[in-house]
Amino acid sequence: MTLNIESRTKTVSETGLPVDEIVVNIGPSHPSTHGVGRVLVHLDGDIVVKADMIVGYLHRGIEKMAENRTYLQVCPLTDRLDYVGSMYANWAYCRAVERLAGIRVPERAEYIRVIVCELQRIASHMMGIGSAAADTGATTMFIYAFDVRERIIELFEVLCGSRLTYNYVRPGGVSMDLPEGWTDDVLKFTSTVRRPLDEMDKLFFGNTIARGRLKGVGVLSAEDAVAWGASGPTARGSGVNWDLRKHDPYSVYPRMEFDVVIGDNGDAYDRDRVRLLECYESVKIIDQAISQMSGGAYKADGLARLITPPPGDAYDHIESARGSLGVYLVSDGSPRPYRMKVRSPAFCNLALVPKLAVGHTLADLVVVLGSLDPVFGEVDR
Amino acid sequence: MNLDELQHRLSELSPVLAPFFSLEFGDAVVGVSSDKLLETARELREIGFDRLGMVTAVDRGEFLTLVYRLQSRSLSSALFVKTKVSPAEPHVASLFEVWPAANWQEREVFDLFGIVFDGHPDLRRIMLPDDFDGHPLRKDYDNPAMIRRPDYI
Amino acid sequence: MAIVDKLGAALDNGAAGAILTSVDALADWSRGQSLWPMPMGTACCAMELIAASFSKFDFDRLGTFPRPDPRHTDVMVLAGTITEKMKPAVKRLYDQMPDPKWVVAMGNCTVPGGIFYYDTYSVVRGADSFLPVDVYISGCPPRPEALQDGILQLRELVRTESISRGKRHARNLLLPGAPAGASDGGGDAE
Amino acid sequence: MTSLLWGALVGLVCGIVIAVAALLGVWAERKVSARIQLRLGPQESGPFGLLQTLADTVKLVLKEDITPTQVDVRIFRLAPLLVFVPAAASLSVIPLARGWAPFNIATGALFFLAVPAISVIGVLLAGWSSRNTFASIGGIRGASQMISYELPRTLSVLSLCVLTGSVSAVTIHDSFRWWWIPLNAMGFLVYFIASIAELNRGPFDLPEAESELVAGYFADYSGIRWAVFMMVEYGGLVAAAFFGAAVFFGGGLGIGGPVGALIFVGIAVMIVVTMMWVKWTYPRMRPDQLMNLAWKVLTPMALVQLLLAGIVTAVIPWH
């Protein structure tokens, strides 16, 4: 595997004139690829004529590793998939295991899962908006967004002792009950978080330069969004009303009142702004969940440490911060999964880069990439 | 829409597909042979399954099972399409023209399972380097560099 | 070869011990105070690497100022799993960094392989299999404070270095486990 | 002979001033950006981290000086000098006190505006000789941007030349009237924005756009050669601030003595800090938006300002 690339190629344009294209290699280590993505961009002047998105630089073979671990031992691996939103992969995996093994989850555990996942959604969206802003050069916005994220990380640290890889949602419930006073801390957070969110809305989305950079860039039509399998804020930014929390309800989401935020134009601005507005909805959901939550068990009773589901297969998905995150599990009756497949939303969204970037300038390519909010742990698995 | 309704609706919309419909572990499954896959996909696309969620494969030893998960917003339901291919000669039609979402997902299955999707516009390895040998998610894959985890549960 | 190496060689030959010591002190102080990391953030640890330089932990207090361009940096922070596909890129970026350079392996993945040690066909087990690592920070992922501690430990390491080849040679011999006749430190590719 | 010696001395002093300006400028930038970003900034080296930049500079001097194999060696090595010398030269004509500039020449204002433009060649050659796609694009972006913003910047100062009837920086400085501040407000805005763009600073830092081109035209420079590019940025920043304060605000608002000097430095520091504030607040522009701003907004604004100054000069016999 070598990294050498030809930096110039000669092609003929549609009009028959020879074009001297410059090939710019962006990545795999580049400040705006959000990890280890790589884009080979063919430029005609400053206009992208072809963008080849190359992924796989973080392919760790988690699906293969899962085949040699018990169902419980796979949980920590799922943390490392989407490292910006570890709770989601935990939950999606646990839902698939629960469906496969027929485990009933207590109500309190479902509420706890909803609370932590909505907190995680805010944290993840903050990272998404922040890094999308940093791609356009607004470093300060990134730091403000990260500040909000840091407050959530502190809450999680109190909850399960870890800052990033929580391993909190387990098959049958959650790993431990909420610490005393934790819900008060969360309520304190939700009552104060609107101010920084408003501030960010003004600082970045109200800024003339930012609007000029984001509006009209990487326009994705609603039909294309559905056909290309886009989900989450990427699809909702294009006006596709598709949110698994509403349209394929799971857990206790049917009891929650919230709106699905959708954009109008399907450009980078809409995708990024949908993320910000979803944070307000998440705050609403957290408040409702805390007020509805009652006591009880946080974990299913009589759950064996070694889960041995009957042979069969199960697929379950949740709405993660990046879209519909699904886990497909095949069991052969042994204590280890026969096959685990993670349907990664970031992977499907990222497949749109070659489509969206063409016709824009090089400066817009990083905006397009940022607006899809890829996390390469999940893309490459 | 629950599964009975879905089955009813499916037989109404597409009498051709109804005989292939079955229930497996609480999921709706359409099982077809690999040479009929493309026309089945077109048919399903026609009746409203506009979203291809997932493409994957399972190595069952004597055969490979290809699993497609479809979703429909108009029918508000989901189903699996499953088909078998032989590991010795793994060829199947690409569904890229039906759902462009199959693009990268089929490349991934090609990369990790070695299933060749005929008609795919850009079938290259996606996860592993181009000079990688073998298809790691097959059960018979072996690599001396892989250290097997000690068997403690 | 940097000017400083020539200077070191010149001072080595003469009996200019006092000058050498003061130049050393200045060089080590400046290098230690301004360890600019090349953030080689490949996976989860990258998040903590970002967090370390942002408002709560503020790396800049220590003069540690991340630059994405390898040519402007001194220490490569390997944050995250390195796969076989990524390895050539990491190696190349390391080669592009100017001497003197150091490597900090952050997180279990780059120390021995961590959670991705067994059953995987694509992960490089330990960054020290292809890069000379100076500081190891364990954790999955390590906290930002741990990374800062690692940088401070690297500063201590830098403080013991000398621009004189002879002295450097002597220091390396004092290190535990150094082979007899060990020449330059890991970072000095000739 | 004496003039030659004097010139050499001024050149040396200007070089040192740029180095000192960079030392303080980088420190200030890091402190200001830290304050904006709820951080503390450098703390560990010296009091308030004041020696941080010194440590950085000594370290960069002691770093390996890489000349990549594929570069055009002679041009690669010449480029930093081509950027540095014009920037240093432009410092020498800034009127620092009443009737005095290190180089009091009759065309001082034009000299200050025209000579730094030579560094465009340095930027372009630095990007081109690196034979690196990022650097080439950065160099081309830099050249087009600096040439475009040259025009509004010069026009904005030209209105002052019309008011005073002179292109000598010292004359402009000396004949300051307080009512010029409101009269030239638009001109100063144009000068301020165009200066930021001239210096390739955010939100116009396209040639070195960190998130697109990694480091732009100096992507392949390491050690002291890269430090020279950074020095020029901060030296240019200080020069633009002092020149702006000198011509638009008459030094210390026309007040002489130590008080005036204090006001002069105060205004210049305010300009520098505002430039940093702008950089750490706004996102970066796109190349086409940048060009639109230069040609469709700033140049007409500067022309209107020039017209205004012309009318005022014709109507009010203030001389």
Residues of chain C whose beta carbon is less than 8 angstroms from a beta carbon of chain D are 1-4, 26-27, 29-31, 33-34, 36, 54-55, 58, 60-63, 65, 67-69, 71-72, 74, 96, 98-100, 163
Q: If you measure CA to CA, which chain B residue comes closest to C122?
A: B128
- Give the count of beta carbons closer than 10 Å to the beta carbon of residue B95: 26
Nearest chain C alpha carbon to B131 = C85
Q: How many pairs of residues across C and D have Cβ atoms under 8 Å apart?
A: 101
What are the φ and ψ backbone dihedral angles of A36, each rounded to 5 degrees?
A: -120, 40
- Nearest residue of C to residue A381 by CA position? C43
Say how far apart CA C83 and CA C89 lie, in whole Å.
10
What's the pLDDT band for A122 if we cut at 50, 70, 90?
very high
Residue A267 contacts D, CB cutoff 8 Å? no
Distance from CA of C29 to the nearest CA of A (A): 29
Q: Do C119 and B145 touch (CB under 8 A)?
A: no
Q: Judge whether C98 and D64 are in contact, CB under 8 Å.
A: yes
Domains and CATH numbers, chain A: 62-380 (1.10.645.10)
Strand partners, A20: A10
> Are residues C4 and D62, on separate chains, in Cβ contact within 8 Å?
yes
> What's the rounded Cα separation, in Å, for the pair A135 and D211?
5
The yes-or-no verdict on residue A22 having pLDDT over 60 is yes
Q: Which residues of chain D have pLDDT under 70?
A: 1-2, 254, 317-319
Across the interface, do D54 and C30 touch by the CB < 8 Å criterion? Answer: yes
Instruction: With H, G, I as helix, E, B as strand and everything else as coil, classify residue D201.
Output: coil
Q: Pairing mode, if any, of strands A47-54 and A38-44? A: antiparallel
Q: How far is CA B81 from the centre of its chain?
A: 7
CA atoms within 13 A on the CB side of A102: 7
Residues C113 and C178 occupy one common structural domain: no
Rounded CA separation A38/A27 (Å): 4
Residues of D in contact with C67 (CB under 8 A): 215
- For chain C, residues with pLDDT lower than 70 are 1-18, 163-190
Tell me the CA distances in angstroms from D211 to A32, A59, B75, C6, C67, one per residue in order.
Answer: 5, 24, 44, 37, 11
Name the domain count of chain D: 1
Contact state of A312 with B25 under an 8 Å Cβ cutoff: yes
Long-range contact set of residues A308-312: C-beta below 8 Å, sequence gap at least 24:
A308/A101, A308/A333, A308/A334, A308/A335, A309/A71, A309/A97, A309/A100, A309/A101, A309/A102, A309/A333, A310/A100, A310/A101, A312/A100, A312/B24, A312/B25
Binning pLDDT at 50, 70 and 90, where does residue A125 land? very high
Rounded Cα distance, A356 and A374, in Å: 14
- Interface contact flag, D133 A7, Cβ < 8 Å: yes
Residue C153 distance to chain A (closest CA, Å): 23
* Contacts of the segment C181-187: beta carbons below 8 A, 24+ positions apart: C185/C132, C185/C161, C186/C103, C186/C132, C186/C133, C186/C134, C187/C99, C187/C100, C187/C101, C187/C102, C187/C103, C187/C132, C187/C134
Q: Is the pLDDT of residue A167 over 50?
A: yes
Report d(CA C160, CA C163) in Å as an integer: 10
CA dihedral D285, D287, D290, D294 (to 10 degrees): 170
DSSP C34-80: T--EEEEE-STHHHHHHHHHSTTT-GGGGT----S-GGG-SEEEEES
pLDDT of residue D220: 84
Burial pattern C61-84, b for ≥16 Cβ within 10 A else e, equals: bbbbbbbbbbbbbbbbbbbbbbbb
Q: Is C61 on the interface with B (CB under 8 A)?
A: no
Contact: chain D with chain B (3+ CB pairs below 8 Å): no
Say which range, A18-22, A147-151, B141-145, D201-205, has the weakest mean pLDDT: A18-22
If you ran DSSP here, which 8-state letter would residue D218 be given? G
Whether the Cβ atoms of residue A59 and residue A51 lie closer than 8 Å to each other:
no
Backbone CA torsion sign across C63, C64, C66, C69: positive
Q: Which of A7, A144, A363 sits opposite D212 (nearest CB)?
A: A363
Can you tell me the distance from the alpha carbon of D76 to that of D136, in angstroms, rounded to the nearest whole number?
Answer: 12
| C1: containing domain | 1-33+163-190
Residue D39 forms contact with C (CB below 8 Å): yes
Question: Is the minimum CB–CB distance between D223 and chain C shorter than 8 Å?
Answer: yes
Q: Which amino acid is at C5?
A: D
DSSP notation for D56-119: HHHHHHHS-----TTS-HHHHHHHHHHHHHHHHHHHTT---BTTB-SS--TTHHHHHHHGGGGH
- Nearest chain B residue to C121, by CA: B146
**D-chain residues near A7 (CB < 8 A):** 133
Check if B27 contacts A (Cβ < 8 Å).
Answer: yes
In a domain, B67, yes or no: yes
Contacts for D102 with CB less than 8 Å, ≥ 6 apart: D10, D13, D14, D91, D92, D93, D94, D96
Distance, CA of A180 to CA of C76 (rounded, Å): 42
Angle between helices A139-160 and A182-192 (to 10 degrees): 160
Q: Max Cα separation, chain C?
A: 58
CATH at B98? 3.30.460.80
Q: Select from B28, B97, B111 the least CA-distant residue to B67.
A: B28
Quote the pLDDT of residue C190: 33
Q: What's the pLDDT score for residue C180?
A: 45
- Dist. CA A114–CA A285, nearest whole Å: 8
DSSP code of B60? -
Residues of D in contact with C29 (CB under 8 A): 55, 58
Q: How far is C17 from chain D (nearest CA, A)?
A: 19
Both tokens assigned to D269 = 């520091």
Test mutation, B27, B49, B56, chain A, max A CBs within 10 A:
B56
C-alpha to C-alpha distance for A374 and A364, rounded to whole angstroms: 16
Minimal Cα–Cα distance from C125 to chain D, Å?
29
Starting at the edge strand found earlier in the chain, the sheet holding A18-26 runs A8-12, A18-26, A38-44, A47-54
Segment A261-270 mean pLDDT = 88
Question: Cβ neighbours of residue C176 under 8 Å, at least 6 residues apart?
Answer: none
* Closest to D312 (Cα-Cα) out of D173, D174, D182: D182
From the DSSP assignment, how many helices (H) and strands (E) are in chain A? 16, 9
Cα C73 to Cα C101, C105, D297: the distances in Å are 8, 16, 39
Residue with tokens 């703390």: D43
Average pLDDT over residues A83-90: 88
Alpha helices by DSSP H, listed for chain D, are 2-36, 52-62, 73-91, 108-114, 119-129, 133-164, 169-174, 180-183, 185-198, 210-213, 223-248, 250-253, 257-279, 287-292, 299-315
Is residue D133 within 8 A of residue D281, CB to CB? The reply is no
Tokens of residue D201, six digits: 């600073």
Q: How far is D50 from chain C (nearest CA, A)?
A: 11
Per-residue model confidence as pLDDT tens digits over A168-222: 888 888 888 888 888 888 999 999 998 999 988 888 888 888 888 888 888 888 8
Torsion over CA: C5, C11, C14, C15 (sign): negative
C-alpha angle with apex D147: D146 to D151, nearest 5 degrees? 105
Is there a contact between C122 and B128 if contact means CB atoms under 8 Å apart?
Answer: yes
Contact residues for D270 (Cβ-Cβ < 8 A; gap 6+): none
Whole-complex ipTM: 0.85
Give the integer Cα–Cα distance in Å for A41 and A21. 10
Position C7 scores a pLDDT of: 67
Alpha-carbon gap, residue B65 to B113, rounded angstroms: 11
Please report the residues numbered 108 through 127 in chain B whose beta carbons come closer than 8 angstroms to any beta carbon of chain C: 127
Could you say which of D45, D215, D222 has the minimum Cβ distance to residue C98? D222
> How many domains is chain C built from?
2
Q: Label residue B39 exposed, middle or buried (CB < 10 Å: 0-12, 13-18, 19+).
A: middle
What is the per-residue pLDDT for D171?
79
CB C38 within 8 A of CB C77: yes
The whole domain housing D18 covers 2-315
Phi and psi at A309, nearest 5°, equal: -75, 155
Element (H, E) at B51: strand B51-59
- Closest-CA distance of chain B to residue C132, Å: 22
Q: Are C63 and C7 members of one domain?
A: no
A227 closest CB neighbour out of B25, B99, B112: B99
Q: Answer for the pair A100, A93: CB distance below 8 angstroms, yes or no.
A: no
Nearest to A55 among B50, B53, B126 (CB): B126
pLDDT at A82 over 80: yes
pTM, 2 dp: 0.86
Q: For residue C177, what are the contacts with CB-CB under 8 A and spacing of at least 6?
A: none
- CB within 8 Å of chain A, chain B residues 80-99: 80, 99
Q: For tokens 């030579």, what's the residue?
A: D118
Residue B119: left (phi > 0), alpha (psi -120 to 50), or beta? left
Cis peptide before C141 (omega within 30 of 0): yes
CB pair distance less than 8 Å for A242 and B128: no
Contact, D141 vs D206, CB < 8 A? yes
For residue B148, count CB atoms less than 10 angstroms from its CB and return exposed for 0-12, middle for 13-18, buried for 19 or more: exposed
CB contact under 8 A, C84 and B143: no
Rg of chain B (C-alpha set)? 17
